[in-house]
Structure 1
Amino acid sequence: MVTASAKAETGNRNQRQMNGKGWTAPETGRVKCNIGISWSKATCMAGLGWIVRNSEGQTLLHSRRAFNGVSSLLEARRLGLIWAAESMNSHKLQKVSFELEDYELVGFVNRPKAWPAFRAYGEELRGVLNNVTDWMVSSVKRVVNKAAFMIARSVTKERRYQSYVAQDSPSWLRSLRAEEDTRSTRV
């Protein structure tokens, strides 16, 4: 069993995407959960999405959820990581690399001593993540996280408020997935 401090160290080493050019598959035996967050200040609505892929790059599951009354982008990102971790645990996925577009939130989790003002956030997030047996949290750029972001943005831009969990890639994102697959094989 991996301890919380070992998880934090592993996550710290893997905090940033190495090449930033495109999505990369996780190592064999792991899945990667990309988390997308879209927040509207005007409506206080957060759209959250995640997409889970295996080491072959195949999409296993994807999901979308709308949250109303979200007061800040930080709060939306916090909700996104909590919801994704709870979802992975619910779907019995226990070796998970989480990726999202937020180096600060990742810092709260992986380097709590560097973020003392956000200690409570870090403790809360690590507590939820610890329900997943073996986890890592990394910050990535939008180009790496585009599919999850587009799922999340469908809430705030297209007003798709219906939550769902589905298998395979969303049909409206298949061309993006094909483009990501092409880029990842060239890296």
Structure 2
Amino acid sequence: MDPADIPLIQSLAVSKTLRSDRLIWHYTKSGKYSVRSGYRLARELQKEVEVGPTCTVLRAQAWKLEVPSKVQHFFWQVASGSLPVKERVAFQGVRCDVTCQRCGSAVESINHALFECERSCLVWELSPIHTPSTGFPYGSVYSNLDFLYSKVFSSSGGSSIGYLLPWIIWIIWKDRNKKVFKGVEAEPMDIINEATNDKLLWEEAKSFAVNLLPPQPPPEDRVTSVCCKVDGSWKSSDPLEGLGWWYGTHNDRTLLLGARSLRCSPSSLHSEFNALLWAMESLRAAGIDCQNFESDSAELVAMVQAPDDWPAFTHLLEDFHSLRSSFPSFSLTKIPRLSNVRADRLARSSRPLVSEVAFVNSDERNYNRDDQKGFRQVLKYVNR
């Protein structure tokens, strides 16, 4: 075997049920094909080399604007050159007059429609934005977008003015469509007023929706309830991974805990899953019927809820379903990382060990990675 492949082969989980091998899509974590991953792979295989400036950043900026999603998509179209102005429509093979219907003096390109048309220029002159006398609007739509984004995402133009700019461009485009399809158009000052009103109405609608959210149910009395928190610690350069779990009450009283070092898995998500499996095995061996398991890994929770979407973890899911039958009221919920400090500390402390060791005890003070004497007080001791 190639020496570089040996650690990967050793980290693979082996089916305990002699399940036949199957093909999976290893370009995603789950092993399930997605159009996004296929598109990304196709682009990588083409080995395209971009020469000169790229518009990727401008397209990405569109999704950061504080505007409705349809307006964000509009700005993405502008940056990607796909806005359906007459020049673009004609380029796609549609026979039409490419002259701008608002001014009738030039070809209607994206930059012309939004920035260079006489009516658009009047709007920008009346807008509260401070424009340099020899600069904006520029002859390139990308330069204009870059200039406006610099105003939106900085305080140089004032926060209220900066947030208004995307709405002005959006209303200019809507006014252009009214002229093309209905033959009507608004005065430049009316366009600015409409942009201001739409911005205020959208912000009011957002705050109104937040206030209408249903009240959260009162927290349950969890003083006497118990749960098991699990976590994994993984680093690709380390030969071992760390597993940790903490079982106790919600008033932070420790009932049982475990820490373990194990041969490194293929990924951090495998480590999270191994931590859950080992916690279930340990609690079952101790005769504890734990109903509530908690993890800070959203992917682990999703995997348990929809196992068919994660073919890359088939073998581990088989082990999980076998253990799941021992916990009639099993549940796994997502918790914040700051709420999982104990399990995280146990997992991190186990990863730097020099050999595979398992530690289970009822007192976390007995476990210290700098003091191996703690392992003499374990309920279970394994050193392979």
Query: Shared fold by TM > 0.5?
Result: yes
Evaluate the alpha carbon distance shift between residue 55 and residue 149 of structure 1 in structure 2; reply closer, same or farther with a 3 A threshold: closer
1:105 to 290, 300, 303: 300
Residues 148-167 of structure 1: pairs in structure 2 closer than 5 A: 148-157=343-352, 162-167=357-362
Alpha-carbon distance in structure 1 between the residues aligned to 2:233 and 2:239: 11
Report the counterpart of residue 72 of structure 1 in structure 2: 267
Q: Greater relative contact order: 1 or 2 (C-alpha under 8 angstroms, separation 6 or more)?
A: 1
Contact persistence 1:26–1:55 (CA under 8 A): no
Evaluate the alpha carbon distance shift between residue 25 and residue 160 of structure 1 in structure 2; reply closer, same or farther with a 3 A threshold: farther
Q: Unaligned regions of 5+ residues in structure 1, if any?
A: 1-18, 174-187
- CA offsets per residue over residues 50-89 of structure 1, 9 Å max, x none? 1110254311011111001422212212211111111111
* 1:131 match: secondary structure: coil
**How far apart are residue 111 of structure 1 and its match?**
3.0
Indicate the RMSD between aligned Cα atoms, in angstroms.
3.1
Report the counterpart of residue 138 of structure 1 in structure 2: 333
Normalised to the residue count of structure 1, the TM-score between the two structures is 0.67
Normalised to the residue count of structure 2, the TM-score between the two structures is 0.35
Report the counterpart of residue 57 of structure 1 in structure 2: 252
- CA offsets per residue over residues 76-109 of structure 1, 9 Å max, x none? 1221111111111111111331111211121111
Residues 33-44 of structure 1: pairs in structure 2 closer than 5 A: 33-44=228-239
Read off the aligned partner of 1:166 and give its amino acid letter: N
Evaluate the alpha carbon distance shift between residue 172 and residue 95 of structure 1 in structure 2; reply closer, same or farther with a 3 A threshold: closer
Contact persistence 1:44–1:71 (CA under 8 A): no
Evaluate the alpha carbon distance shift between residue 29 and residue 118 of structure 1 in structure 2; reply closer, same or farther with a 3 A threshold: farther
Structure having the higher strand fraction is 1
* Corresponding position: 1:91 with 2:297: no
Evaluate the alpha carbon distance shift between residue 80 and residue 54 of structure 1 in structure 2; reply closer, same or farther with a 3 A threshold: same
Read off the aligned partner of 1:78 and give its amino acid letter: F
Report the counterpart of residue 180 of structure 1 in structure 2: none
Alpha-carbon distance in structure 2 between the residues aligned to 1:158 and 1:75: 19
* 2:291 match: secondary structure: strand
Alpha-carbon distance in structure 1 between the residues aligned to 2:328 and 2:306: 19
Read off the aligned partner of 1:35 and give its amino acid letter: V
Residues 20-31 of structure 1: pairs in structure 2 closer than 5 A: 27=222, 30-31=225-226
Evaluate the alpha carbon distance shift between residue 155 and residue 101 of structure 1 in structure 2; reply closer, same or farther with a 3 A threshold: same
- CA offsets per residue over residues 2-32 of structure 1, 9 Å max, x none? xxxxxxxxxxxxxxxxx9xxxx998477421
Alpha-carbon distance in structure 2 between the residues aligned to 1:100 and 1:85: 13
Contact persistence 1:25–1:57 (CA under 8 A): no
Contact persistence 1:82–1:129 (CA under 8 A): no
Q: What is the total number of aligned residue pairs between the two structures?
A: 150
Alpha-carbon distance in structure 2 between the residues aligned to 1:155 and 1:40: 12
* 1:84 match: secondary structure: helix
